Structure 1
Amino acid sequence: MDQKAELLGYLRITRSDLLAKLDGLGEYDIRRPMTPTGTNLLGLVKHVASVQLGYFGEVFGRPSDQDVPWLAEDSAPDADMWATENESRAGIIDFHEFSARHSDATIESLALDSEGEVPWWTPERRHVNLHQVLVHMCVETARHAGHADILRELIDGAIGNGPLDPNVSGRTREGWAAYRSQLEAAARDAER
């Protein structure tokens, strides 16, 4: 497999992992702020789709015709990080899928050394190539998928990528409670 195909594969996996964190949850749970800064599941999906569209669109002279009002100059700060009551789950997911298709088309049509310019980066950093942006978006998407992992666990206890995820121990609820108690004790002992 060539490097571009490998990176695109990882990007697609992390996109899917992020979207899966919405599965089975109601409107309140996907929208509610779970941190002091307001981080929420649907907002993470909206944000990743928004920045992805910019990095693989505008940066390489391939802007989409998609209207993205939350990124307009007169929009409120952080408007891409949450969904209003008028923005539906289906609409945000459709936007995410559109962004992925548009991004994939850019990635597939350009060589890894194709040059672009990130206008929102500082002048000394803004000249990039597709390889740099592809790595950047793999990292950004994975980072936000990790945030979503934690939020989902806080909401309903779901962890990993489902019950068959080989990277998650098969502990029972009681087993996790005992494990957490062990970690709490170790943390307290280390503080002494």
Structure 2
Amino acid sequence: MTTATSTPLPEEHAELLGALAEQRDLLLITVRGVTDAQAWQRTTVSELTLGGIVRHLATGERVWARIVVTGDGELPDGMLDTGQYHMGAQDSLASLLESYATAASGLADVVRTNPDLGRKVLLPTTPWSPPEPIHWPVRRILLHLIRETAQHAGHADIIRETLDGASTTAQR
């Protein structure tokens, strides 16, 4: 992986971005060949849908990229939006996947231009935050995104298998 100027990324940057890309790829395998109707469909008691998971992960990558860039502790648009977990009637899976790809590219650009992954960023105050300010290094934010993406890729695999019997393992 290189930046726009063809300067190689530091090893840690490349490793973390690569690990995140691998988890994204698992999710993309899971939703391959899914129709909009299937992406909208609930298959378990959970409210999660394949489209809702893609929408949520795209929102998450945009929100965390903004937090890394600003580090101002302000709550970014979309962070508390419960609609981010749902595929709207106006959404198509293709548009959600395009939004996810754009968010992923934006996050990668932020990481590429951030020389110090140990730089601490003030996190926004949320209803679930402790009263004292919280600072995370950029590295921890990337690790959080890797974990979040892996967790939701697993959810997607269960939804897909329940939906039509397909699984990520069978689609590779």
* TM-score of the superposed pair, with normalisation by structure 1: 0.72
Deviation, structure 1 residue 72: 8.0
DSSP 3-state at the match of 2:91: coil
DSSP 3-state at the match of 1:21: helix
CA contact (8 A) 1:149 1:160 kept: yes
Determine the structure 1 residue equivalent to 2:41.
32
Highest RCO, 1 vs 2 (Cα 8 Å, sep ≥ 6): 2
Deviations 1:68-111, CA, capped at 9 Å, x for gaps: 7xx287xxx62001111112222211110111011001111112
CA contact (8 A) 2:59 2:84 kept: yes
* TM-score of the superposed pair, with normalisation by structure 2: 0.80
Q: Max radius of gyration: which structure?
A: 1
Name the CA distance, whole Å, in 1 between partners of 2:143 and 2:133.
Answer: 15
**Identity within the alignment, %:** 27
Match of 2:142 among 109, 134, 137: 134
Judging changes above 3 Å, is the alpha-carbon distance between structure 1 residues 72 and 39 closer, same or farther for their aligned structure 2 residues?
A: closer
Name the CA distance, whole Å, in 1 between partners of 2:134 and 2:68.
Answer: 9
Match of 1:55 among 52, 64, 71: 64
Give ranges in structure 1 of 5+ residues lacking alignment. 63-67, 166-192
Match of 1:78 among 78, 82, 86: 82
Name the CA distance, whole Å, in 2 between partners of 1:4 and 1:125.
Answer: 26
Determine the structure 1 residue equivalent to 2:166.
158
Aligned length: 155
Name the CA distance, whole Å, in 2 between partners of 1:118 and 1:7.
Answer: 20
Deviation, structure 1 residue 123: 4.5
Aligned-residue Cα RMSD (Å) equals 2.3
Name the CA distance, whole Å, in 1 between partners of 2:150 and 2:165.
Answer: 20
